[in-house]
Structure 1
Amino acid sequence: MGDIDLKRNPQFQVSGLPDAVKMNQLQNLLHDALISTDHVQHCAIIRRKDCNIRASSVGFNLHQEQVQILLDAFKNPPQTREEGIYFDDRQYKCVRADKNSIYGKCDKRGLILVRTQSMLLISTYSENMFPSVCVEAVEKLADYFKEKGK
């Protein structure tokens, strides 16, 4: 398997690799695209259809019930804007809610949710991090997945 060049043979990324290898690729993608910005505290990639955690940053523990609540927030953006989002023992005030993105803020912390066709990207930032950098990184990663049809 060492001879396979994934950049030249992208079909191997989709169907030729075991799930454990794909998951490792997603872990690396999370680190390279989000954590390495130093403006993302925790992040995860969730498969929407079954709330399966495909990859997450170190120490970011999510339960299926939490993920389902976050996904349900997209069903009624006006209500989400009005009520906010309760996540990780904090009530986040919603500063943006539409069919693709939800941004929440609690003091100097924030929660960024972006959904694609088949995935939900969850990201948090803490004080001393720039919310705009976190948002930009998560939205760019979501755009990458959207271009891939995922």
Structure 2
Amino acid sequence: MNQLQALLNDSLIRTKHVENAAIIDIKERKVCASTFGFNVPPENALNLIYAFHKNLLQVRRGGLCFKEKHYKCVRADEHSIYLQNPDGGLIVVKTKTFILVASYKVGMYPSVCVEAVEKLGKRNGC
């Protein structure tokens, strides 16, 4: 387990309100760390990067597909995108260097997931 994986586990998974998480390097355009078993396909990583840079309005209006599931947009701005579907949701936070993506499932508190992901993004000033 590398340092970034450990950071995801310690900061997010330990809350018990984040199911899975990944860190996408914006410059490299690829996933640089993820929690055990959470595979983010390259096209999904690119879609999240483009969502912030070119498609924010489209995401607000039509939602986003991630890992072959459609998510409705709850909130989207230049720093965060909150998405949900009947099975749970995604919290996506953009920092200077990375995009953090975390999923939660039904039964987990979205507010705790949001707080943990936003805090991790700010704390590391990435």
Which TM bucket (shorter chain)? over 0.9
Q: Distance in 2 between matches of 1:84 and 1:76?
A: 10
Structure 2 distance, partners of 1:144, 1:54, is 18
* Aligned with residue 135 of structure 1, among 107, 114, 117: 114
Letter of the structure 2 residue corresponding to residue 87 of structure 1: F
Runs of 4+ in 1 over 4 A off after TM superposition: none
- Following the alignment from structure 2 to structure 1, what is the Cα–Cα distance between the partners of residues 6 and 58? 35
Deviations 1:79-137 (A, max 9, x none): 21001001112110000110010010101400110010010001000011000000000
- The alpha-carbon deviation at position 46 of structure 1 amounts to 1.1
1:76 aligns to 2:55 (yes or no)? yes
Task: Report % sequence identity.
Answer: 49
Task: Give the whole-Å Cα distance in 2 for the aligned partners of 1:125 and 1:51.
Answer: 24
Indicate the residue corresponding to 1:32 in structure 2.
10
Deviation at 1:54, TM superposition (A): 1.7
- Normalization by structure 2: what TM-score? 0.94
Q: Supply the AA of the counterpart residue of 2:66.
A: F
AA matched with 2:27: K
Write the deviation string for residues 25-65 of structure 1: whole angstroms up to 9, x where unpaired.
Answer: 11111111000000001100111012222210111001211
Listed as ranges, the gaps of 5+ residues in structure 2 are: none
Aligned residues: 125
Give the distance between the partners of 2:58 and 2:2, measured in 1 at CA: 36
Counterpart of 1:109? 88
Q: Specify the alignment match of 1:43 in structure 2.
A: 21
Higher relative contact order, structure no. (Cα contacts within 8 Å, ≥ 6 residues apart)? 2
**1:141 is paired with a residue of what secondary structure?**
helix
Q: Which has the higher strand share?
A: 2
Q: Rg: which structure is higher? A: 1
Which residue does the alignment assign to 1:63?
41
